[in-house]
Chains A and B, each alone.
Chain A
Amino acid sequence: MIYLDSAATTLQKPESVAVASAWAINHLASPGRGGHWPAMAAAEKAFACREEAARLFHVGNSERVVFTSNATHGLNIAIKTLARPGSRVVVSGYEHNAVTRPLHALGVDLRVARSPLFEPEAALDAFRREIERGADLVVCTHVSNAFGFILPIEDIAALCRERGVPLIVDASQSAGCLPLDFEALGAAFMAMPGHKGLYGPQGTGLLLCGIDPAPLLEGGTGSESRRQTMPDFLPDRLEAGTHNIAGIAGLLEGLRFLERRGVEHIAAQEARLIRQIGEDARRIPGVEVFLSHDSAAQAGVMSFRISGRDCEEVGEDLGGRGFALRAGLHCAPLAHESAGTLDTGTVRASVSVFNTSREAEQFIQTLRAVAAES
């Protein structure tokens, strides 16, 4: 099986990730819940993970690195801290349901900064227009999970700072894949999964907090136990209940792997691979590829469709031939609406640092055969 679905979750991880998680299951207890060695060793592991994440994403204070169970969890905390029914919330035209569903549930006044695919300047203009109409909050994905479109997040963040509008960044597809500087962005929150570009286990995620959040869950924190309200300090305020310490131990190894490899190096490798796949796929008759001509606007995710073929059938066909890709709407109907693919969906290829040029060649050979049989 050649795995090209890293936008969903990275399947191939550094070996140290599984080793660390397995060791944690057998040796680590609950951080902050005891003074004995297994609890204190767990606390050290969690702290090391926070510190590593703070270094990687430029967060001055590691208390502001909060463990979540995935990016959706972090986005829900962030959105429910800042949005209220009727709040004017501006989002890009490329958001995932992890953003739009909580906003819908809250009953906000949702304003979509619509822009064509792979046009960063148009995206920025759209945000400017919508913010000028009045905005209480901006939520923006850094990279479209369906198309790999890199939104101009630094410019959008600058616009938000200039207008005093809080910004929530969904870094689900960029964390570990593109350089990120949380403090430079000045965002209120940045949410990310641990199991995609950070190469941690599933069930892990991080929320970086630039402002004080409201808890989504209440419960035990191992601190201020006499109080019946949640602590007013981070990370305890957001971390009710027992931690996923096996996941955190694995995530720490994923972060260390990124530090060793270098995010810039990984970004360059993934960009090279996706361009190889995209450019070669483009030459296949009947295959329509969604790939930016501008490398600065394209991450390691791309979509395509085959004329006359249902995207799910193509995904199934490729799966049967040994290639793992995801087809459909990718939980991002808004992105497909923006790209004009809402009715058909697309097939998505997404790479990780563990994919090779040879695998890309094998995929193209197979795609050629699939397209020829259509």
Chain B
Amino acid sequence: MLYYLIVCRSLTYAQRTAAALERAGITARVLRSPKSISGEGCSHSVKISQRNLPDSLRVLQRVGLTPKRVYITAGDGSYQEVAL
């Protein structure tokens, strides 16, 4: 199943991001970023389903939360950065 990962600068930022999405009715789960996309080392991401990305970005813009980067899963298990 394809999904997006919104990489966040901190765990708390990821939690704020997930909370804002959940308040808007979008299922969101905080998890540790896969090593390949974690940037400067450990980070946390918010996982959302493929169909929810546009709505999620709108919600986050409305509440002033800026995703650091967004990735989509590829069929081979790797991640590709999404241009926002």
Q: Which residues of A contact B (CB under 8 A)?
A: 31-32, 34-35, 40, 43-44, 47, 50-51, 61-63, 222-227, 231, 233-236
Contacts and interface: CB of A to CB of B under 8 A. Distances in A.
A223 B10 contact: yes
Interface of B: 9-13, 15-16, 19, 30-32, 39-44
A222 B40 CA distance: 11
B3 to A, nearest CB: 16
Nearest to B40: A224
A44 B40 CA distance: 23
A47 B12 contact: yes
Given A225-B40, A225-B42, A226-B40, 9 more contacts: A43-B11, A62-B12, A63-B12, A63-B16, A223-B43, A224-B43, A227-B40, A233-B13, A235-B10
Given A32-B11, A62-B12, A224 B44 contact: no
Contact of A223 (B16, B19, B42): B42
Nearest to B12: A63
Contacts of B16: 61-63
B68 to A, nearest CB: 10
A50 B15 CA distance: 11
Contacts of B32: 34-35
B31 to A, nearest CB: 6
A44 B11 CA distance: 10
A227 B41 CA distance: 8
Contacts of B31: 35, 40
Nearest to A227: B40
A231 B30 contact: no
B12 A235 contact: yes
**A-B pairs with the 3 shortest C-beta distances?**
A225-B41, A226-B41, A224-B40
A43 B32 CA distance: 12
B35 to A, nearest CB: 11
- Which of A44, A224, A235 has most B Cβ within 10 Å? A224
Contacts of A47: 11-12, 15, 19
